[in-house]
């Protein structure tokens, strides 16, 4: 009798384990996208936050940890494998995002120290650091240019910055997705005013990252459960932005979805923070058929 009960218990545990594994297994599709590389673990980036496609080095993506970690850029390949670490000689308060774009120096990375989670006291000014995109072999970036920015209508918390045509755009982390655009009092000034030009209107979904495609034709925005792809012209026009292509990504089962990047050929890249019991970040790449 005891042996039979033991066998039954083992059988129940095995079946339960298989059910849990089946339920937790990530989907291999998401809307019009198919997973190209399954989840890659990022043990050096436990709080993976932003993501950007390098311009200077084809096939390179840049990511970083959230605040409270070293100011280090992580160069990843298209499958999420870590290629190198590059130190940035700055101290940040709440580094939330990274973007890649053209700049007067050629190809640059923009480091967005724009978070304001505590709001006690609210940050009167935020900082965006600009550095030339590191070359292969670099272990430290050049000293950055520092842009000091303030919102025209008061402080906001934000995690998403993208760059189009040399202008900086920030999407606030709130229930409306407020869209702000930079304005300089003088062309050479490093002081910026961020003026509200519209909202994304995401029905109370909170934006954790945004990035322009390398050709600047599209802007991709992500929340915990969805990626939304907009035409850049619709976004920068301002007002209430027409709703873009929505790609549900909840089935990928990221622990805490954070970063997103999209190339001109429909490759979509995502990063996530790790789980409490396994703090390695996660990287997933998908190929999407875009209209």
Question: CB-based contacts of 282: which residues, under 8 Å, 6+ apart?
Answer: 39, 40, 41, 42, 48, 254, 255, 271, 272, 273, 274
Contact 28, 34 (CB under 8 A): yes
- Mean pLDDT over 253-262 rounds to 96
Q: Give me the mean pLDDT over the 100-119 stretch.
A: 90
Q: What's the whole-model pTM score?
A: 0.89
pLDDT over threshold 70, residue 3: no
pLDDT band for 7, please (50, 70, 90 cuts).
Answer: low
- DSSP letter for each residue of 120-146: TTPPS-EEEEEEEPPPTT-SBPPPPEE
Task: Give the three-state DSSP class for 278.
Answer: strand
Helix, strand, or coil (residue 262) = strand
Domain that holds residue 6: 2-288
Q: Give pLDDT, residue 17.
A: 37
Q: What is the mean pLDDT of residues 94-98?
A: 96
pLDDT in tens, 23-43: 447 889 999 999 998 899 999
Q: In this structure, what CATH number is given to the domain that contains residue 10?
A: 2.120.10
Residue-wise pLDDT tens digits, 115-145: 987 656 778 999 999 999 999 999 999 999 9
How many domains does the chain divide into? Answer: 1
Q: What are phi and psi of 55, to 5 degrees?
A: -100, -35
Decide: helix, strand or coil at residue 281. strand
Question: Three-state SS across 55-108?
Answer: CCCCCCEEEEECCCCCCEEEEECCCCCEEEEEECCCCCCCCCEEEEEEECCEEE
């Amino acid at each position: 009798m005891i042996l039979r009960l033991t066998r039954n218990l083992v059988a129940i545990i095995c079946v339960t384990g298989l059910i849990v594994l089946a339920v937790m297994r990530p989907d291999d599709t998401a809307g019009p996208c198919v997973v190209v590389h399954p989840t890659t673990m990022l043990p050096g980036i436990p709080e993976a936050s932003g993501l950007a496609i390098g311009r200077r080095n084809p096939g390179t993506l840049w990511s970083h940890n959230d605040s409270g970690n070293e100011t280090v850029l992580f160069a990843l390949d298209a499958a999420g494998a870590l290629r190198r670490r590059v130190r940035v000689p700055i101290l940040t308060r709440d580094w939330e995002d990274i973007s890649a774009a053209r700049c007067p120096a050629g190809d640059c990375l923009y480091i967005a120290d724009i978070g304001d989670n505590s709001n006690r006291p609210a940050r009167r000014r935020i900082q965006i650091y600009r550095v030339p995109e590191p070359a292969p072999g670099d272990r430290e970036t050049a000293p950055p240019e520092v842009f000091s920015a303030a919102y025209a209508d008061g402080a906001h918390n934000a995690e998403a910055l993208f760059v189009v045509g040399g202008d900086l755009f920030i999407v606030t982390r709130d229930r409306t997705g407020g869209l702000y655009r930079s304005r300089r009092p003088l062309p050479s000034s490093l002081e910026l005013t961020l003026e509200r030009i519209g909202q994304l209107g995401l029905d109370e979904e909170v934006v954790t990252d945004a990035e322009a495609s390398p050709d600047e034709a599209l802007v991709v925005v992500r929340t915990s459960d969805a990626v939304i792809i907009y035409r850049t012209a619709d976004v920068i026009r301002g007002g209430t932005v027409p709703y873009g292509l929505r790609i549900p990504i909840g089935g990928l089962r990221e622990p805490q979805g954070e970063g997103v990047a999209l190339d001109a050929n429909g490759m979509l890249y995502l990063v996530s923070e790790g789980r409490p019991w396994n703090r390695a970040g996660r990287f997933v790449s998908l190929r999407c058929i875009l209209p």
